[in-house]
Structure formats: C-alpha cells, structure tokens
Structure 1
Amino acid sequence: MRTVTGLFDNYEDASDAVDELEAIGVPHSDISIVANNSTGWYQDDRSNAAEDAAGGAGVGALIGGAGGLLTGLGIMAIPGVGPVVAAGWLAATAAGALGGAVVGGAAGGIVGALTDSGVPERDAHVYAEGVRRGGTLVTARVDDALAGEAESILGQSRSVNLEDRRSAYEADGWRSFDAGAENYTADEIERDRARYANRV
C-alpha cells in the first residue's frame, strides 16, 4: 500500500478527484478528505464532532457512511487549521491524535497523521497549511498497482502544485505549519484564492 495525496483550492475539484479514485477501484474506506470550513460553506446538523474534536468525541459520526465517503462528511476542529469538513481514515487519525498527549507537535494533529501514513514531513506541513488557508486535502491509501493512476488523478491540473505553493508561502515568510496559529478568516481565504487563481 502507498499513500497518495493532493491539495485542491476548492472542494468541488477535490470531490471530483474522490469520485475518480473510487471509479478506478480505490475503496472509499481508503480515501480521506479534509476541507476548510472557515467560511461556513458546509452545514451539517447530523454531526457534533466540532464540539469536542480535541477529546475525540463524535469521530465515528464522520467516518464511512453508507453510500460512499462524501455522504459521511462531518464537521470537526483541528488546531491551527480551524473548522473543517472531513471524512475517512485521515480525519479519524488526526482527531485521535488530538485526543492524545501530543497536541500541537509535529507528531500530533494533521501533520502527524500525514507523516504517520508515509507523507514526507516537509510536504505534510504544506498540505496542512493549504487546508488552513482554505484548501481541500484528498489522501488515499492505494495498492501499488493503482498508485500511478491515483497519483495522476491527484496531480491533475486542477490540483495545487505543491512546490509552487510552498515557494509562494515561503516568499511571504512562512516556514512550517503552526498548530498554534490563528485560524484563517473567510476574508483571508478569499484573498488567497484570488491570489492563486491569478497565478494559473
């Protein structure tokens, strides 16, 4: 099994990538999606996971779900990222780490969940920052036989070029994801989306 990951500036493109992964045979139980919800675009009265994500409460409400991964979406909070809409194994791993003793360190939260699954730590920091700044992360565990096709799906033109985005963040003085940072506001997210849309 290999872990493949893609960052998207908008949820719709990430959702399409999830559908494409499922179409090539990746089970929804091996796919995870984490999308920033600071603008409140997603409302879900079915899950109270956001009320106590740090304690691990409500995690079961956002995992799986009959009818596919995207029907199992729930709302939770991740330190340094803020409110997110999430489903799948990565969300469960990140929320579980928040309930442990290493909240905020590189070994905890979203960075820890990514690195534990095989994503290089340097990349995990950019992915986490991308979600913090309004993006959507799709991560899949795939058999080696599907890895090339899955990487192609998550590396498509609608996804973020990780090295370009890292360079853009670093040009503004960013060095690594900080779980203690203030959440991005809806205005900051819209400003960044417009900025990166102009780079395409």
Structure 2
Amino acid sequence: MSDVTVLSYGAGNVASVQFALERLGATVRLTDDPIEVAEAERLILPGVGQAGYAMGRLADLGLVDPIRAFPRPLLGVCLGQQLLFADSDEGGGTPLLDLIPGRVGRLEPGPGLPVPHMGWSRLAIDRADPLLDGVDEGSWAYFVHGYLCPDGPATLARADYGGPVPAVVRSANRWGCQFHPERSAEAGARILKNFLEIEA
C-alpha cells in the first residue's frame, strides 16, 4: 500500500484523516515541512475553518509554492478542496492556491436549508474518474461547509443542497472532496483507497 503525506498546518482535522488512511493500510506521514511536501509520493491537504486563516498558515510555513508545484497525486479535503481554486468570497475576498479556475462563494441554498450544510447528502456522479471507481451513484457522503466551489469543468460529482454542490473535483493531478471522506462510511473509504492506488 502507498505512502501518503498529510499536511499538518494547524487548519485541518488531521487525526481523523490519518486514522482513516491507516485503517486502509497506508503509511502516513504528517508534516508541515516544505521539503517533505515537495518529496511526497502523494499529498493530502485537509482543512476546516476559514480560508484566510488556512492560506495564512500555508504562507507562514512556506508551503504555498511546494503545493502549487506538486507534480504527483494531490487531494484536498473539505476546505482543502476550496483552497485549490483561485480565490474566495470569504473574509471579503481571499486569494487561494489558484490550481483550478474559479471563485469560491458563500453557500446560499434557499428557504428551509440552514447554512452551514452539515450532514449526509447523496452523490450524483457526473463522469468517471479513478478517484470514484467503485463508488455507486447515490452514495452518501458527510458534509460540513458554508462555502462552495464553482460548478464547472472540474466537477466530477455533485450533491444537491437547494442547488448543485460540487462534491468532487479534478484538474490534472489535483482532486478535491468537499465532503469528509474519512467520515463518509463505505463511499469515503473507497475514495481514500482509490487515491492511495492512483499511480504517483
């Protein structure tokens, strides 16, 4: 099974991601070291909280350039998916990693649906991808978010929360999951397993 590096930069639920990967047999390295990031076999960027704080932490630790230049499989989780995009409305405007075109906006699902979106939603798979191999149409995933990524060419799967929520995205060697795969039962475990098996 693969080695995988998880960024531990003070803005992510690192422990639960680590344990989920270890249950799949992966060897997990937690790091905030730019050299270790650049040399990683594959990389996971977790994230919870506010985009500006997360980007500030990445900048302070010298991680922005190594992430942007990373040539092997990279997976952003929850806020980590949002950080892959160009910028965000959060905090009055926040520049992000700019690895996928588009602006992250506030979730506005309409009457009767609270923000943040917190709980289980079904996945509608838009197109096939190695990250989604074996994930059934209508599988449940666990979401916690108040902002959402733009729905565009990078979208692989969506949820419905009063409108489309891009749930899985990809651009080249970079993938993102808006939900928490480490908390998403069988579908989430399968997605993490698939990520570990994508050729580095």
Larger relative helix fraction:
1
Same fold (TM over 0.5): no
Structure showing greater relative contact order (alpha-carbon pairs closer than 8 Å, 6 or more residues apart): 1
Larger relative strand fraction:
2
Q: TM-score, normalised by structure 1?
A: 0.28
Q: TM-score, normalised by structure 2?
A: 0.28
